[in-house]
Amino acid sequence: MNDVVSRLDVASVRRELRLPDPFLDGLDAVERPAESLGPVLPSDDLAVALLQRLGVEPADRISTLAARPDPADHPAMWWVLERMHHDVIATMGIPPEWGGWPEVPVRTGPVGRHLYVWLCLSVLPHVRRYQERLGIPEDISWASLADLGQEMTKTRRLTGSPGVEATWGLPRTFRGASYRLGRLVFERGRPEPERSRPLVLQAGETSLGTHIPATGDRLDPEACDESFSTACHFFADHFDEHPVAFNCHSWLMDDQLTAHLPENSNIIQFQNRFTHFNDSEAGDHEILEHVFHRRYRECEAPTQLLDELPQDTRLQRAIVTHLRTGGHWCNRTGWFRATASGLARQT
């Protein structure tokens, strides 16, 4: 460890980076696993090859190399990187109990915006070895880890700047707890506590979190059928666990969509798989980011923004019309109990 980094304490890092207190306090408590030597960053040539394998576009590969963190030049950020590296390795295969990784402040510049990219590169050899020990096919491993490229593309599209902002998915993907299986991504779950356990689960049972990667592919029902079926067998074969249900937290679970889209639309057919819903929360910002790749900071979507949005599809027109008339969209968590084949599509 660099001497400057070793002399830092959490209070110093807090003053310099102003990351959320719970996040920094959690990192301060992280202990170095016996098998972890700390972050070892790949050379530029190797980093380029790995980033390409991880689905990172050429412009984002260039920006990553230009923002390499260094313990002497960026001691506070290296303090964070080192402890996050230890934490990921110590919890390999286990989804984090808390949310995602918070946004590194803009004032930290390109190095701060690429810190999570270099973290992913530093833990990549560890997650790949972990997945190989489990017998996970190489194509599934790399397809899952390519979540990094999707996150970087999304960040640049939304903000106009390269790097990675706050991220919920990457902590799960690079712990080997989340996998792309065909059209959908599935994440290992934990037994739900009594106070929040949905009706589809009994005590001690687990579900798989379901996520829809933003790859531009249609949410084809048959492709989703195959993904759900594959997930049931995949987690039984490689993790020796048998989740009994699926859950999905998304704007796609908003039942208001049924008033705007035909019953045979892919979105409604996907929503109809789920039989129980909870955890409703405001979702105007999220639906505009996912469908239009536009971001706004106000409480209400500005009229000027709505005027600028394309109206080429039925979904786009529905979203804007609903907001113009004073409506709001929400995110909900949908649940369904799996059948023997993993399917639950209502017809």
- Answer with the one of 178, 202, 223 that is the final residue of a domain: 178
Token pair, residue 262, equals 């035909």
Token pair, residue 316, equals 């786009």
**What mean pLDDT comes out for the span 336-345?**
68
Q: Which amino acid is at 26?
A: G
- Answer with the one of 126, 143, 178 that is the final residue of a domain: 178
**What mean pLDDT comes out for the span 138-159?**
96
Q: Are 203 and 197 in contact (CB under 8 A)?
A: yes
Would residue 199 count as lying in a domain? Answer: yes
**What mean pLDDT comes out for the span 156-177?**
95
> Same domain, yes or no, for 36 and 132?
yes
Would residue 318 count as lying in a domain? Answer: no
> Same domain, yes or no, for 71 and 164?
yes
Strands 207-211 and 245-250: what pairing? parallel
- Answer with the one of 178, 198, 227 that is the final residue of a domain: 178
> Same domain, yes or no, for 248 and 341?
yes
> Same domain, yes or no, for 135 and 211?
no
Would residue 51 count as lying in a domain? Answer: yes
**What mean pLDDT comes out for the span 245-256?**
96
Identify the pLDDT of residue 162. 96
Q: What is the tally of structural domains in the chain?
A: 2
For the stretch 197-218, pLDDT in tens is 888 999 888 899 999 998 778 8
> Same domain, yes or no, for 133 and 5?
yes
Dihedral in degrees, nearest 10, Cα atoms 223, 224, 230, 234: 130
Identify the pLDDT of residue 344. 55
Q: Is the pLDDT of residue 224 over 90?
A: yes
Identify the pLDDT of residue 153. 96
Number of H helices, E strands in the chain: 16, 6
> Same domain, yes or no, for 9 and 67?
yes
Q: Is the pLDDT of residue 343 over 60?
A: no
Identify the pLDDT of residue 3. 67
> Same domain, yes or no, for 207 and 168?
no
Identify the pLDDT of residue 105. 92
Would residue 247 count as lying in a domain? Answer: yes
Query: How high is the mean pLDDT of the chain?
Result: 92
> Same domain, yes or no, for 252 and 334?
yes
Would residue 60 count as lying in a domain? Answer: yes
Identify the pLDDT of residue 204. 86
Percent of the chain with pLDDT strictly greater than 70: 96
Domain that holds residue 256: 182-283+329-347
Nearest CA to 116 out of 43, 156, 72, 165 is that of: 165
In eight-state DSSP terms, residue 107 is: G
CA-to-CA separations, 229 to 24, 242, 252, 340, in angstroms, rounded: 39, 12, 20, 9
Would residue 190 count as lying in a domain? Answer: yes
> Same domain, yes or no, for 170 and 232?
no
Identify the pLDDT of residue 114. 98
> Same domain, yes or no, for 159 and 191?
no
**What mean pLDDT comes out for the span 211-233?**
92
> Same domain, yes or no, for 174 and 186?
no
For the stretch 281-317, pLDDT in tens is 999 999 999 999 999 988 889 999 999 999 999 999 9
